[in-house]
Amino acid sequence: MGRKEDIERLYNLLELLEERVNGKRKLKNCDGYLNWPDQGIYFFFSNTEREETTQQRITRTGKSGDLWDRLYQHRGPLTGNYPGGGRHRASRFRLHIGEALIERDGLHSDFPEWGAGDSAVPETRDEEQLLEEQVSNYIRELPFLWINVNTAESRNYLERNLIALLSNFEKEAIDPRSSTWLGKYSPNEKIRKSGLWCVNDVHKKYDSDFLDELESHILKTTPVE
DNA sequence: TGGCAATAAACCACACTCAA
DNA sequence: TTGAGTGTGGTTTATTGCCA
């Protein structure tokens, strides 16, 4: 089977997953009180559709040994010192989106420290709060799905192959992103060309057999309540 | 109903792994 | 060695349950 057929199979498997978990969620409606699986893989979708279908396009996939903790890092806090914001230094997803917003809106002089270092002093965080809020607003509106994957070996294998399959980086573009996709403004070439908010593995080849393993995990995934 | 303790979740900074 | 990304562990905050 070719890459296009494998991508079709992947999206069909995700439709099955969506049925199993009673639909996609958005982070704006989620918290840690839901019974998330301890470990797993998540799929964020864009609100735009794939070519020739009504399916939403995958825009990022990632893994975690503590699923909600990772989703929380992407969502950002609702309360505390930075409500509605977040920490892009703890979430590359947030970092990439913020960089694209800076490029698109010409905000370099407003956020000169964005992405600099692993931590920031409160003064810098105060200055970045406005952009963190914009990033949070963007992420919290993205529909997402998740699967339960217990072993790190499986999570690494599935994530690597998912990204390699979906990435258009230096490959034939399947489901190419529109010119209005925010990632087109990313300073990172891998994001612009892959069509994903991912950098690792976008240039790799994938192993079709991973779809069989993905299906087995989907069939074991249950809804959160 | 209010006070207290226990527990869970939220939050954060830093450490660690892996690949290039 | 560096960058990307996740894992770990400590602290703070919120919630729950119990008792007077």
What does A170-214 look like in DSSP terms, one character per residue? TS--SSPPPTT-GGGG-S-HHHHHHSSS--TTTTS---TTHHHHH
Mean pLDDT, residues A156-178: 81
CA-to-CA distance for A185 and A137, rounded, in angstroms? 18
Distance A120 CA to C1 C1' (A): 23
Checking if the pLDDT of A12 tops 90, the result is: yes
Distance A75 CA to B17 C1' (A): 24
Nucleotide nearest to A203 (CA to C1'): B20
End-to-end, the C-alpha distance of chain A in Å comes to: 38
Which residues 92-131 in chain A have a CB closer than 7 A to strand B? 118-120
- For residue A77, give the 3-state DSSP assignment: coil
pLDDT score, position A116 = 62
Which residues 73-92 in chain A have a CB closer than 7 A to strand B? 77-83, 87, 90
Helices (H), chain A: 3-20, 67-75, 92-105, 122-140, 152-166, 189-194, 210-218
- For residue A110, give the 3-state DSSP assignment: coil
Which residues lie below 8 Å from residue A110, measured CB to CB, with a gap of 6+?
A102, A130, A131
- Whether residue A4 contacts residue A108, with contact meaning beta carbons closer than 8 Å, is answered with no
Checking if the pLDDT of A21 tops 60, the result is: yes
Please write the tens of the pLDDT for every residue from A33-66: 666 776 778 888 887 777 778 888 888 888 776 7
This prediction's pTM: 0.87
- Whether residue A161 contacts residue A3, with contact meaning beta carbons closer than 8 Å, is answered with no
Nucleotide nearest to A31 (CA to C1'): B9
pLDDT score, position A176 = 83
Distance A66 CA to C7 C1' (A): 9
Residue nearest to nucleotide B15 (CA to C1'): A118
Residue A69, CB, less than 7 Å from strand B?
A: yes
Dihedral Cα A24, A86, A71, A194, nearest 10 deg: 70
